[in-house]
Amino acid sequence: MRIVESKREVGEAFELAQLEAQTAFGNGELYVEKMLTNPRHIEFQILADENGSVIHLGERECSIQRKHQKLIEESPSPLLTAELRRTVGNMVVRAAKAIDYTNAGTIEFLVDEQANFYFLEMNTRLQVEHLVTELVTGIDIVKEQIRIAAGAPLQYKQDEVALKGHAIDCRINAEDPSRDFAPCPGTVTAYRVPGGPGVRVDSALYSGYTVPMIYDSLISKLAVWGRTRDEAIRRMKNALDEYQIEGFRTTIPLHQKILVDEHFIQGRINTGFVYNRIGSRVLDRALGSEDIAALAVALSLSRRKRKQDLAVIPQRKPAGRSRWRTFGRASLGAQDFKWSA
């Protein structure tokens, strides 16, 4: 993707984008679309069977991102009213029917400040963030996708789908936010999952598991459900505090700082939120337990080496009384000396 802000930039941007596309995908074809600055990213989950029945399961708010990849998803979106949800939901159902779509799927949009929806893409599969939709609808999307593939009809009608409560999902990645989200492969030295009402963890991690050098950075999905968005935020904060993954850096500290930001709490978010709103306050590197351990080892080795160096220094006896000691005794009383180890 190349952003073009004036006519004079078109030629160069086109050539660079075409070269990159040809190199990466073997296809240099390009298309032009409207540039939306810091929009919201909202998507609708659908289910469609072989008989032509299509329903939607409401929306997911996916605006908290880094490098155009999602970090936090929630359902329902703080932006949508019931009327707007119904309008866009009917639109995605008509779109799926128009192409005779069959499967679980997601239709994604970018949304500007005036709540205008712009079609982005359709993912013709189950998505990472499906669990927040499952938590608010009670519908097992994985199970429904398998039933659809087997030729079974949908078990639900549109008027039977209701969004109850609020769900939030944090993608826990093995990355270092303080180094532009650099990958952090390593071995899990300690692992403890959070628990409690409304908490769900989807992960294959365990103590001793090694995240390899070549991998997808997503290592866990932490989701919570609450009766309200405020309750869901509180539960997510508690769950993040309880979640222990040691051995390498993760995005847990970043999630913790986002969850307490007043703009996030108010639902005032967009795709530029992490960089524009939080900035260095989120990306500053804090000392973790592995840093403290490394520092302790370094100090121990430094102290040991210093003792070894002192042991080989030749000890010479002073010639007579020290003038410093004599002067000190003459001008200072014993009470003036303070010793420290």
The DSSP secondary structure of 269-319, one letter per residue, reads: --TTIIIIIITHHHHSPPP-HHHHHHHHHHHHHHHHHHHHHHHTSPP---S
E strand intervals along the chain: 40-48, 54-66, 69-75, 103-111, 117-123, 166-173, 175-176, 182-183, 186-187, 190-192, 199-203, 210-211, 218-226, 244-246
Can you read off the two tokens belonging to residue 252? Answer: 């847990």
Query: What does the block give as tokens for 261?
Result: 């930001």
Cα–Cα dist 21/29, whole Å: 8
Select from 127, 37, 44 the least CA-distant residue to 84: 44
Catalytic residue IDs: 125
What residues does 122 pair with on adjacent strands? 107
What is the residue type of 1?
Answer: M
Which element (helix H / strand E) includes 205?
none
CA distance 183 to 292: 21
Which residues lie below 8 Å from residue 103, measured CB to CB, with a gap of 6+?
48, 124, 125, 145, 148, 149
The answer to whether the beta carbons of residues 170 and 243 sit under 8 Å apart is no
Dist CA 326 CA 332 (whole Å): 10
